[in-house]
A and B are shown apart, each in its own frame.
Chain A
């Protein structure tokens, strides 16, 4: 199953569950409070996911390592490499 299909199934499943409760499709006489809680659920989920995404990406950007030492090490090694290669007869 492709990722796209997985998503479609997932959304359909959740959507169906939501519709059953909110509109009491099976006439199960669900308590009013159930319906009132279920009705705005999709929006809550979306907003929560949006916040989670922003927070996660923000945190990861802020903690993205800057490898200053790696850059310095590389610069030093470039010098060393050039000298050594010249000694071995390499012409740049």
Chain B
């Protein structure tokens, strides 16, 4: 009984919607969902997980359906789309169906660990922040599985961005974030970039609109299963995105 009341008192009626965009994540999806259920369950916050699968050829959707059977339709919502339409629109699509007053955005590939979720929520409450961003670059934050070259590119790109844009947040390209619902709606409407420049644009526009930003150090573990969908000419598209934001925000 005692434990129940303490769980209750933490809930305070807020609901958190987690948007999980997936493309070929059949190995990762059950694991990330299991971890989400575990940490939300332990911390007692009300939640729902919205899976937005873009017609993955590897059968991710079938996996998602199994998970829905196990954990229930109130916890796992499936909002699939017929074909791969990209991440930005996946968030918009998922958000339309979200019933929470707060929205988590994270990758489904296990590089964003759900154990940080309670920390995001506490951080948000602490300063009533409009958004809380996970950061690999501060405090106990960090990465796993990165060689020197990748660390150098990451730190170098981050430094240049900080100098040029002064965004008021230390991790611009990370995509593990908690938003007030209204804030996410306002931001997504204004963001036009694709790929992970999109994440950068979100935080830069947030600063532009004077939203308050909190930060939580996170460990980023490179995906174990499957492969990255972005990749390609990352540096070129990053530079293009950076210059576009430099000239327009």
Contact = CB atoms under 8 A, between A and B. Distances in A.
A48 interface: no
B155 A60 contact: yes
Interface stretch (A12-20, A22-30, A32-40, A62-70): A62-70
B100 to A, nearest CB: 24
Contact of A71 (B221, B246, B247): B221
Given A57-B159, A84-B34, A78 B140 contact: no
A81 B159 contact: no
Given A53-B159, A65-B143, A2 B30 contact: no
Q: Interface residues of A: mostly helix, strand, loop or mixed?
A: helix
Contacts of A56: 159
B70 A64 contact: no
A46 interface: no
Contacts of B145: 71
B152 interface: yes
A90 B70 contact: yes
A85 to B, nearest CB: 6
Q: Interface residues of B: mostly helix, strand, loop or mixed?
A: helix
Contacts of B169: none
A81 B247 contact: no
Nearest to B137: A60
B221 A57 contact: no
B142 A64 contact: yes
Interface in A34-89: 53, 56-57, 60-61, 64-68, 70-71, 74-75, 77-78, 81-82, 84-85, 88-89
Contacts of B144: 66-68, 70-71
A67 B159 contact: no
28 contacts: A3-B164, A3-B247, A3-B249, A7-B164, A53-B163, A57-B156, A57-B159, A60-B137, A61-B148, A61-B151, A61-B155, A64-B142, A64-B143, A64-B154, A64-B155, A65-B141, A66-B144, A67-B143, A67-B144, A70-B142, A70-B144, A71-B221, A74-B113, A81-B31, A84-B34, A85-B30, A88-B70, A90-B67
